[in-house]
Amino acid sequence: MTTVSRTFLVQPEPAVVIDYLKDFAHAEAWDPGTEKCTQESPGEIRVGTRWHNVSKIAGVTTELTYTLETLTPGRLVFRGENDSASTTDTITVQAKGGGSEITYDAVIEPKGAGKLGEPLLKLLFERIGTKTEKQMTEVLDGLPA
């Protein structure tokens, strides 16, 4: 299991941040690995909504189905699954100053033979975590107030 965590500040208030990030299709804008992300479940976004995500990481394309497991005014949890890995992304948002403090925790669990590469995965995902923090900050700070 590989865990990556980042805590950072953005200008929008928590309600704006949660409203934007609850739509995992927006990962195309803030996640450096995501190439395409489309909502599979019809209707409004709620717990149980699913997305099909296509990402390229270290030159390898992978597809996962993400499900929104938790949606509260201060916390989002997305669970991604495919045959080779599962991931849990927890985004906690709280008011800080005039904006928000975000804590983004990603837990990646390789399955099968993928477990052998976990030490390298940690290094790779730490780099991705830094890029994600930068991109997410830029995107969220660019949202209308």
What band does 130 get if pLDDT is binned at 50, 70 and 90? confident
pLDDT score of 115? 52
Cα–chain center distance at 138: 15
Contact 14, 93 (CB under 8 A): yes
Cα–chain center distance at 125: 12
Claim: this prediction has a pTM higher than 0.85 = yes
CA separation (Å) from 47 to 27, 67, 134? 17, 8, 27
What tokens does 117 get?
């590469």
Mean pLDDT over each residue of the chain, to the nearest integer:
90
* Percent of all residues in the chain with a pLDDT value above 70, rounded to a whole number: 90
Q: In whole angstroms, what is the distance from residue 103 CA to residue 83 CA?
A: 28
**pLDDT digits over 86-103, tens only?**
999 999 999 999 999 999
- Indicate the class that CATH gives domain 2-141: alpha beta
